[in-house]
Amino acid sequence: MSASKCSRLSGTLVKQLLDSVDSVLFDCDGVIWRGDQAVPGASQVINLLKENGKKVFFVTNNSTKTRKMYADKMSKLGFNVKEEEVFGTAYCCATYLKTVCKLEGKVYLVGSDAMRQELEAVGIQQTGVGPDLVFGKQLDWANVPLDADVKAVVVGFDEHFSYMKMNRALQYLSQPGCLFVGTNRDTRLPLEGGKAVPGTGCLLKAVETAAQCEAQTVGKPNHFMFDCVASQFGVERDRCLMVGDRLDTDILLGSNCGLKTLLTLTGVSTVADAEAHQKSGCAERHGMVPDYYVDSIADLLPALQG
Ligand code: PLP
Ligand code: CA
């Protein structure tokens, strides 16, 4: 296809693009749903893509759910999805620790119960999930009790994040050879009405600042999530499309992995954001320019129904 970058996808171009791919990777929040509400037409698009023989996968930076929780949410919203097709950062982080880091030992987890479940599913034990209950007395902060089996600190979304957790993470990371892994760096989670709340990137930055070292992250735009999908399902990069609502995570992941990229305008980023990246002289920013954009993934429907 000879269209220039960042062009509106419509008319016959939709069918041409879909014919040129075998697999489609969808980001979740802002693409197939917003919070708990499905994007209108999204379930039909996903189900029809599958009926048309496409492989469909979901890649989300949200670490608060297991694969099973995502599959359950999707089926409630009318999507025909199997657990194995969902790649969330809770699952991918556990896979990364097991297969890439070959971690022997426990994790100090600053994260959700879903992360605990995914770690345990690959045989990794953790300590730290839930509120840190050591408080209320004058503490010797630098000599808090530590678990000698901990060999990695992992940071994901944690609603119980606290000074004590940050301190404990620092004490573990001060030990030689302790690994440091984060799920993702999304700084803000957008809500309806233009509001936002702090994302995992804020918690990770706090721990990095305390520990004076940088974590490895598994989430988008890091290629690891695509590697997980590709290694399990044999995806061909040049016949794969990444669909997302964020230029700095989804579209950059697609560019980093040599995929075709489609921005949907139902979430965070705008066409103006993409054009600003395109006009800049910075090579990294060019990776954030999508090949195409649509108002909503529902714009793919006519080509699938025809
Ligand atoms: N992290 C958390 C904790 C979230 O709640 C969300 C969205 O709800 C995200 C990340 C972003 O998720 P996605 O990659 O599906 O847009
Ligand atoms: Ca998103």
String of DSSP letters for 216-238: EE-STTSTHHHHHHHHHH---GG
Do residues 190 and 248 both lie within one domain? no
Do residues 158 and 178 both lie within one domain? yes
Residues 191, 166 contacting (CB under 8 angstroms): no
Q: What is the pLDDT of residue 135?
A: 59
Q: What is the pLDDT of residue 139?
A: 72
17: which residues sit within 8 A by CB, 6+ positions away?
Answer: 1, 9, 241, 260, 262, 292
Do residues 119 and 157 both lie within one domain? yes
Domain span including residue 160: 91-217
Q: What is the pLDDT of residue 140?
A: 83
State if residue 222 touches ligand 1 by the CB under 6 angstroms criterion: no
CA 282 to ligand 2 centroid distance, Å: 24
Do residues 230 and 297 both lie within one domain? yes
On whether residue 80 sits in a domain, the answer given is no
Do residues 108 and 204 both lie within one domain? yes
On whether residue 44 sits in a domain, the answer given is yes
The residues with which 29 forms a beta bridge, in sequence order, are 33
Do residues 194 and 240 both lie within one domain? no
Picking from 198, 217, 236, the residue at the C-terminal end of a domain is 217
Do residues 56 and 109 both lie within one domain? no
Q: What is the pLDDT of residue 284?
A: 84
* 36 labeled binding residue: no
Do residues 210 and 246 both lie within one domain? no
Residues 184, 217 contacting (CB under 8 angstroms): yes
Could you confirm whether 299 is annotated as catalytic?
no
Which CATH number covers residue 24?
3.40.50.1000
Could you confirm whether 27 is annotated as catalytic?
yes
The total of structural domains in the chain comes to 2
**How many CA atoms are closer than 13 Å to the CA of 255, on its beta-carbon side?**
21
State if residue 172 touches ligand 1 by the CB under 6 angstroms criterion: no
Predicted structure pTM score: 0.96
On whether residue 76 sits in a domain, the answer given is no
Mutate to test the pocket of ligand 1, among 39, 62, 252 (most ligand atoms within 8 A of CB): 62
Picking from 183, 199, 217, the residue at the C-terminal end of a domain is 217
**Spatial separation of the C-alpha atoms in residues 169 and 296, rounded to whole Å:** 41
State if residue 27 touches ligand 1 by the CB under 6 angstroms criterion: yes
Picking from 217, 234, 262, the residue at the C-terminal end of a domain is 217
On whether residue 264 sits in a domain, the answer given is yes
What are the 10-residue block averages of pLDDT along the chain, 306 residues in total?
A: 78 96 98 96 98 98 98 97 98 98 98 98 98 72 92 98 96 98 96 93 98 98 97 97 98 97 97 95 91 98 92
Which residue in 106, 262, 90, 263 sits closest to 182, CA to CA?
90
176: which residues sit within 8 A by CB, 6+ positions away?
Answer: none
Do residues 97 and 180 both lie within one domain? yes
Do residues 191 and 242 both lie within one domain? no
**Strand 150-155 to 179-182 pairing:** parallel
On whether residue 81 sits in a domain, the answer given is no
Using the structure block, give the residue that is written with the tokens 């929040």.
29
Q: What is the pLDDT of residue 137?
A: 62
